């Protein structure tokens, strides 16, 4: 009998420590990026690119590398994500710069299809993780740098309203990561102080900006692995345990 009581006491202690209580939690809210976090990694494992567009993709990625991390808002990448130009305008301007750099002209619409044609593919593991986290009482937000056309795409990938208390779309608010102001806006709408937020993004510049505001951060290089890490850190069990509990 005493042995059984001891076992029950140990089980009770494990249950109390495995799932953090509201008073002992490290965080009150979690902010998730879209591309590369809620979706499979972008631009990875592309085998469908025609060879004649290799230089176009290299040009796009070069501009991304050189300008994306800046907060000035003057490059077309910034204007696109701040909702000031459309996808078509962006690719028209990019191809004009591409030709000015000495390359052969290409159709901007074809370049657009090649670069973004695969679209976004939702990460089921991360969707499950967000649902578990929100069901456990954490506030959740989706914070995404995206063009004006983007909302129509990501709202078809997963049930946004079921997963997130707040959605901050850069093209709607006219600012973008890594501008500190968009992080502060997200926290305000979420009703959570930055230091009580966990932030997940695939880009280092965005992670570093969140870190500078006092958030705890995770750079997401593998959404499936990070989904498990988030659930383990916030709920005290592997992500798969929730699914297994109902089996």
Q: What domains appear along the chain, each with residue ranges and CATH number?
A: 25-42+120-245 (3.40.50.1000), 51-116 (no CATH)
pLDDT at residue 51, rounded to an integer: 83
Instruction: Note whether 116 and 33 are within 8 A (CB).
Output: no
pLDDT tens-digit series, residues 27-64: 999 999 999 999 998 766 556 678 888 999 999 999 99
Residue 13 CB burial class (10 angstroms; 0-12, 13-18, ≥19): exposed
Instruction: Note whether 11 and 211 are within 8 A (CB).
Output: no
Residue 215 CB burial class (10 angstroms; 0-12, 13-18, ≥19): buried
pLDDT tens-digit series, residues 153-179: 999 999 999 999 999 999 999 999 999
Question: What's the whole-number mean pLDDT along residues 98-107?
Answer: 96
The structure's pTM equals 0.85
pLDDT at residue 63, rounded to an integer: 96
What's the Cα-to-Cα distance from 191 to each of 29, 92, 137, 187, 215, rounded to whole Å? 9, 40, 13, 6, 14
Question: What's the whole-number mean pLDDT along residues 213-222?
Answer: 97
Residue 69 neighbours by CB under 8 Å, 6+ apart: 178, 203, 205
pLDDT at residue 47, rounded to an integer: 63
Residue 211 pLDDT > 90: yes
pLDDT at residue 91, rounded to an integer: 97
């Amino acid at each position: 009998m005493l042995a059984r009581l001891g076992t029950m006491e140990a089980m009770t202690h494990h249950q109390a420590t495995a799932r953090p209580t509201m008073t002992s939690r490290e965080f009150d809210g979690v902010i998730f990026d879209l591309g590369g976090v809620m979706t499979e990694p972008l631009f990875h494992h592309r085998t469908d690119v025609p060879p004649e567009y290799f230089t176009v993709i290299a040009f796009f990625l070069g501009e991304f590398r050189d300008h994306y991390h800046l907060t000035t808002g003057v490059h077309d990448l910034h204007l696109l994500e701040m909702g000031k130009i459309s996808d078509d305008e962006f690719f028209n301007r990019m191809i004009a710069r591409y030709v000015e750099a000495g390359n052969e002209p290409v159709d901007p619409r074809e370049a657009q299809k090649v670069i973004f044609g695969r679209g976004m593919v939702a990460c089921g593991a991360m969707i499950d993780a967000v649902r578990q986290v929100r069901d456990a009482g954490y506030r959740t937000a989706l914070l995404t740098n995206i063009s004006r056309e983007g909302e129509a795409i990501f709202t078809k990938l997963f049930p946004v309203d079921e997963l997130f208390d707040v959605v901050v779309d850069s093209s709607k608010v006219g600012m973008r990561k890594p501008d500190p102001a968009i992080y502060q806006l997200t926290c305000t709408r979420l009703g959570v102080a930055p230091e009580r937020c966990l932030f997940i993004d695939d880009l280092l510049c965005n992670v570093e900006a969140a870190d500078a505001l006092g958030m705890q951060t995770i750079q997401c290089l593998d959404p499936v692995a990070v989904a498990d890490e988030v659930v383990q850190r916030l709920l005290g069990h592997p992500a798969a345990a929730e699914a297994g509990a109902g089996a």
